[in-house]
Amino acid sequence: MTKQPDEELRGGKMLEAARREKLSKIRELGIDPWGGRFDDHMPIGQIRSREGEIVVEPVTDPESRRAPEQHGPKVRAAGRIILQRKKGKLIFADIRDWTGQIQLFIGKNQVGEENWDLALCLDLGDIVGVDGELRRTKTGELTIFVERLHYLTKSLETPPAKHKGLNDPELRQRMRYLDLIHSEGVLDRFLNRTKIVQSIRNTLASEGFVEVEGPTLHAIAGGAAARPFTTHHNTLDIDLYLRIALELHLKRLLVGGIERVYELGRVYRNEGISPRHNPEFTMLEVYQAYGDYRTMMDLTEKLIVDAIDATGQSMKMSWADMTIDFSPPFDRKTYQELFAEHTGIDPSQADAVRALAKSIGLDTAGKHLDIVKNEIFEAKVEDKLVGPVFVTDYPASICPLTKRKADSSDIAERFELFVQGMEVANAYTELNDPDLQEELFGKQLEGLAEEDSMARMDRDFIRALRHGMPPAGGLGIGIDRLVMLLTNSQTIRESILFPLLRPEAE
C-alpha cells in the first residue's frame, strides 16, 4: 500500500526526533556532536593502498578451526557513514571520503563501554573519525577494526532512500550536496572537472601564457552578440552589465604588450536554458600575439588532449551510446564543403540557398544571404558533426571581429570545433585594423534592439586598436561543454555544480 504524504511527513518527523534524541545522548556523554579538528587522518584511498602491509600468521595446528591471526598497520580515518548493520554487540559500517570507501568493525569488547555508548548513537549520514587496525574480515573484506571512535558531525536529516534515491534531475541539482554523496559517479565527475581546469592552466603556463582577471561589470556589453544582465551602481548612478564575453579587455592587454594572455572565468548571458545552455557559464579565452587561427587549432588540440590525460582516460571515450575519438590530429573541414556535403546545395547559389531555407521553415525576408546560410548550417549541418572536427573559413559577414583571408575578402579566418553536434571552441585570426573594426561594429549594431546586443559601440576599444594591436590568434572554449564531453554528461547542468534554478516554493 502506497504511503500518503501525511504519513510520510509523520514518518520523517519521527526519524528526525530519533536523531535529535541521539544528539542529546552524545551531549550527555560529554562529547561535542559537531566535532572539531581531527589531525593526521589518512585519505581512505591511501589506507586501502596499505592492504599489502597486513601480515597473516601461519596456522601451526592443522586441526584448529580458529581463523589465522592477522596484524595490520594502525590507521586513522574520517568519513561519512553510508551503510550500517548492527548485530548484537557488533556494528559494521561503511564510511566514505572523497578518495574511497571502507568498512568499519566496531565491537563492544574492542572499543570499551564509553565508545560503545557513542557507537549506538551512529546514524546514516553521520561523519566520524576512527583509530584502528587495518585487517581483513573472515570474508576477506578490507576493514578497519576500530579501537577508538571520534564523533565529528551528527546528521539531523535522513538521507534519501537507497532505492528511491534522488531520481529527479532538478532535485539532484538543487540539493547537489546530496547528489555528491549518494549518486554514483557524481563526485568523481566534479573532481575530474577540477582536473580538466587545472590541466588547462598547466598547459597554457607551459606555453608561456599568463592568466589575468578582467572586470565582470562592464559599462558596455561587448565582445559578443548576446543579451546582458543589467545592474545599477548607486554611487555613480549608472547602469552596468555583467560581462557577456572576455574578449575586448584581453585584446587591450595585447595592445599593452602582454603577448600571451588568457582568462578563465564566468560570463553571463540573459538568454535561454537548455541541455546545452546555462545563463551563467565558464569560458576560457586565449590570445597569442603573432599567431593566427591555425596556431589556435594546434593549441586547442593540445589543451583537450592534455585534459584527457589529466583525467586518466583513453583518447577513445564513451559519450551516451557513442564513442568519441580525440586522437590528434582532429579533422579540419571548411564551412563551404560541409554545407554542400550535408545539404546537397552549393552555398554560392543564392536562389537555391533561399529556397532551401524556406523549405525548412526559415524566414529569409530582409536577411543577408550569409545569415540565411548560417541559419541553414545551424539547422541542417551542426547536428551531423560527430567530430571532433574543426569547421574553418566562415562567411566574413557573420564574423565582425575576424580578419579576412588575404585572397578572399568574403571569407573569415575563423574556426569552430564541433563534437557530437556541439560547438566547443571558437577561434579567429583577430582583426586588428581599427577602421575596419569600427565599420563592422557599426554594421553589427544596425537595427538591433539595445537589449539584444551591445548597448553601444566600445569606442575605447577602437581607440586601443589605433595604438596598434599585433596580429594575433584568439580562442574561446566553453569549459562546461568540454567537461560534458570528457565526463560523459548528457546535459550542461550535470557539468555545473550549481546551475540556475527557479527558487523553491515557500
- Give the other-Cβ count within 10 Å of 309's Cβ: 14
Residue-level pLDDT at 12: 66
Question: Which residue is it, cell 588540440?
Answer: 301
The separation between CA 455 and the C-alpha centre of its own chain, rounded to angstroms, equals 30
Largest CA distance in the chain: 96
Give the pLDDT confidence of 306-350 residue by residue, as tens digits: 999 999 999 999 988 889 999 999 999 999 999 999 999 998 898
- Give the other-Cβ count within 10 Å of 59's Cβ: 13
Alpha-carbon distance of 89 to 378, in angstroms, equals 66
Considering only 258-262, 391-395, 402-406, which range has the smallest mean pLDDT? 402-406
Residue-level pLDDT at 283: 95
Give the pLDDT confidence of 69-121 residue by residue, as tens digits: 889 999 999 999 999 999 999 999 999 999 999 999 999 999 999 999 999 99
Question: Which of 8-17, 300-309, 382-391: highest mean pLDDT?
Answer: 300-309
SS3 state of residue 154: coil
Q: Provide the pLDDT confidence category of residue 453 given band limits of 50, 70 and 90.
A: very low
Average model confidence (pLDDT) across the chain? 90
Residue-level pLDDT at 13: 78
Residue 398's identity, in one-letter code, is: I
Residue 420 has pLDDT above 70, yes or no: yes
Name residues whose C-beta falls within 8 Å of residue 14's C-beta, 6 or more positions apart in sequence: none
Question: Which of 32-46, 356-370, 490-504: highest mean pLDDT?
Answer: 32-46
Q: Which three cell numbers stand for residue 367?
A: 536577411
Q: Provide the pLDDT confidence category of residue 366 given band limits of 50, 70 and 90.
A: confident
Beta bridge partners of 266: 282
Residue-level pLDDT at 60: 67
Name residues whose C-beta falls within 8 Å of residue 220's C-beta, 6 or more positions apart in sequence: 241, 454, 455, 456, 457, 458
Alpha-carbon distance of 262 to 257, in angstroms, equals 13
Cα-Cα end-to-end distance for the chain: 30
Residue-level pLDDT at 394: 93
Give the pLDDT confidence of 373-384 residue by residue, as tens digits: 999 999 999 999
Left (φ > 0), alpha (ψ -120 to 50) or beta: where does 71 sit? beta
Residue-level pLDDT at 70: 86
The angle, 0 to 180 degrees and rounded to 10, between the axes of the packed helices 459-466 and 247-255 is 30
Q: What is the pTM of this model?
A: 0.89
Name residues whose C-beta falls within 8 Å of residue 310's C-beta, 6 or more positions apart in sequence: 195, 196, 198, 199, 202
Bond into 388 cis (ω within 30): yes
The separation between CA 462 and the C-alpha centre of its own chain, rounded to angstroms, equals 35
Residue-level pLDDT at 224: 76
Three-state helix/strand/coil letters over 317-338 = EEECCEEEECCCCCEEEEHHHH
Torsion 490-496-502-506 (CA) sign: positive
Residue 288 has pLDDT above 90, yes or no: yes
